[in-house]
Chain A
Amino acid sequence: MNEIEQTRNPTGNSSNPPLEVHDLTVAYDQKPVLWDIDFELPEGSLTAIIGPNGAGKSTLVKAAMGLIPASSGYTLIYGKPLDKQRHRVAYVPQRESVDWNFPISVMDVVLMGRYPHLRLFQRPGRDDRDVALAALKEMGMEPYHKRQISQLSGGQQQRVFLARALAQDASIYLMDEPLAGVDAATEDVIFQKLKELRDGGKTVVVVHHDLQSVPDNFDRAMLLNLRMIACGPVSEIFTDENLQKTYGGRLNILSQMIEESRQQRFVRESES
């Protein structure tokens, strides 16, 4: 499997969309996880990626960032290959992807958002600390900047990750489930921040699990289930037909649980 190919290299004029992904296909152990994804997003948009469990939402974000190998496909940032433009994209990983017992402070984590602006061997300076503090303030986390990260609640951890992305001062934000398992107050803060980013002309893409809250909080959505079912303004694509296609008969949480447990290989076998 190749890394993402950057075959096209058009001149980066300003009319290029901030984020394009083309022909993206990802497969694990012979199973396609994402099939032929193709989309472009306009500047100043706030997009939710939604779909059932295992639809490949996180995989899409990771593969678009080149974090996992793709069978085919490439990503363009403002019309230029990703690798030269990485500093313009702030990626927010899933909260569970790191060890929150790691011996560093909140400030240390947010300062990592400044690393794209630093050279090798160069230490973050005063300016970087100011930027990081400002980012923490925006997320309402400034009083906690000296805390060890293990002392944070789930919602606070998520805010720290967002503050890191803000500190990176990017044009595009790719967030993997930033609203999973956070408290109501944090949810409000995050939704508010996402809108502010969009209004500030940034392009924001959020992997989201809650279908209900999409119409109120996002202007665009991508419906995903291995394939791209639909992508566009929420009002246009949130049709019964599209949702049915995305979620199949599994909209009901209970039936989804049953389906999942049925797929657990060994259990299925033990019942036979």
Chain B
Amino acid sequence: MITSTAWIIITAILVATSCALVGTFLVLRKMSLMGDAIAHAVLPGIVIAFLLTASRNTFPMLIGAGLFGLLTVWLTEELSKKGRIFHDASMGIVFTTLFAIGVIMISLFAANVDIDQECVLYGEIAYVPWDLWVWRGTNMGPRPVWILGLVLVINVSFITLMYKELKTYSFSPQLAATLGLPVGLIHYGLMGTVSFTTIASFESVGAILVVALLIVPPATAYLLTDRLHRLLLLAVFFGITSAVGGYYMALWINSSIAGAIAVVNGLQFALVFLLAPKYGLLGKKLAGRRIRKSGPEMISHPEPNDVRKSLS
């Protein structure tokens, strides 16, 4: 028999791994906040699913939330294009409005709806071991573990199947389009997996902490490597270690597990940000000194792309 501690840690690891995998592409594509937007905007979808099925059954909620996740992505892009406003502002308008509508719906149907915005914002991973899936009388273990396991399988297969396409796309969508890759499919495929990952995860860790797991481990890894496959592996590594570390930290100071995981994420990033050999603060300082001391033979070839990136 697996202990409840183990179930919690397994859940956290599943969430962290799924998030790190898709989050890497979000960070590379400079769409990190899409996860944040989706995590908030699905609230009306959850409420509608709840009202329709009159239960906290997970699957209708996942579907309702999934639809609203994709709706957010679509609305953000349409508004940005048609309304001619910056992408970030358009995202801000869409997700906050949808969240506000969700809150209003909760107040409207307060008598029938047994959810509140707190549960969307925080989530509670500590309850996972008791959310059991009983199938034909057999206890199959916690339901979230099954769902998150499924999400992980989907994410891993999506990334393995589309690795080459995703790589080109996250480097430059224009390049991907000129090479004849199905950019629309890649984009909405990625956004679809982000939606599902976010929604499946936030039930246990809450909206904001999904954002932490989506962005922080990939960003941390991004300071350590330039290779995509290493980036993915390192992001997963940071995700898993933060999940385990966060659990024990929460145990130690008797606090929310999800919050503690985010704090560990932050600590990991801070450490790498300071110490990373090439892209960290210290590394850059040392390199700056080296450049000033050594002669121009350090100059190799101009790398136009990197230079442009640093300038922008």
Contact = CB atoms under 8 A, between A and B. Distances in A.
Given A71-B292, A227-B299, A270 B284 contact: no
Of the listed residues A1, A30, A225, A269, the one surrounded by the most CB atoms of chain B closer than 10 A to its CB is A30
B168 A270 contact: yes
Interface in A1-55: 1, 25, 27-33, 35-36, 52-55
Given A35-B299, A59-B311, A263-B305, A71 B291 contact: yes
Interface residues of B, number: 32
A254 B278 CA distance: 33
A210 interface: no
B146 interface: no
B298 interface: yes
Contact of B291 (A32, A53, A265, A266): A32
A101 B83 CA distance: 12
A263 B304 CA distance: 8
B1 interface: no
Interface in B55-83: none
B279 interface: yes
B287 interface: yes
B93 to A, nearest CB: 17
A260 interface: yes
Contact of B287 (A27, A53, A55, A269): A27
A2 B311 CA distance: 17
Contacts of B139: none
A55 B306 contact: no
A227 B292 CA distance: 14
Interface stretch (B15-23, B170-178, B189-197, B209-217): B170-178
Given A59-B311, A266-B167, A269-B227, A25 B306 contact: no
A266 B168 CA distance: 7
B115 to A, nearest CB: 41
A267 interface: yes
A122 interface: no
Given A54-B308, A55-B302, A265 B171 contact: yes
Interface in B253-312: 278-279, 283-284, 287-288, 290-292, 296, 298-299, 302-308, 310-311
A54 B302 contact: yes
Interface string B112-150: 000000000000000000000000000000000000000
A56 B307 contact: yes
Given A30-B278, A263-B303, A25 B171 contact: no
A267 B170 CA distance: 11
A33 B301 CA distance: 10
Nearest to A51: B302
Interface in A48-79: 52-56, 58-59, 62, 68, 71-72
Interface string B156-191: 000000001001101110010000000000000000
A30 B284 contact: yes
A244 B109 CA distance: 76
Nearest to B309: A28
A52 B302 CA distance: 9
B179 to A, nearest CB: 9
A235 interface: no
A62 B308 CA distance: 13
Contact of A27 (B167, B170, B279, B288): B288
A264 interface: yes
Given A32-B298, A35-B299, A270 B304 contact: no
Contact of A29 (B172, B175, B310): B310
Nearest to B169: A266
A32 B299 CA distance: 6
A226 interface: yes
Contacts of A25: 291-292
Nearest to A52: B302
Given A266-B167, A267-B171, A269-B228, A71 B296 contact: no
Contacts of B170: 266
Interface string B90-125: 000000000000000000000000000000000000
Contacts of A266: 167-168, 170-171, 228
A270 B175 CA distance: 13
Question: What 5 pairs across the A-B complex have the smallest Cβ distances?
Answer: A54-B304, A30-B287, A28-B310, A266-B171, A54-B302
27 contacts: A25-B292, A27-B288, A28-B306, A28-B311, A29-B279, A30-B283, A30-B290, A30-B291, A31-B303, A31-B306, A31-B307, A32-B298, A32-B299, A35-B296, A35-B299, A54-B302, A54-B307, A58-B311, A226-B302, A263-B304, A263-B305, A264-B171, A266-B168, A266-B171, A267-B168, A269-B167, A269-B227
Given A27-B287, A59-B311, 4 more contacts: A28-B311, A30-B284, A54-B303, A263-B304
Interface of B: 84, 164, 167-168, 170-172, 175, 226-228, 278-279, 283-284, 287-288, 290-292, 296, 298-299, 302-308, 310-311
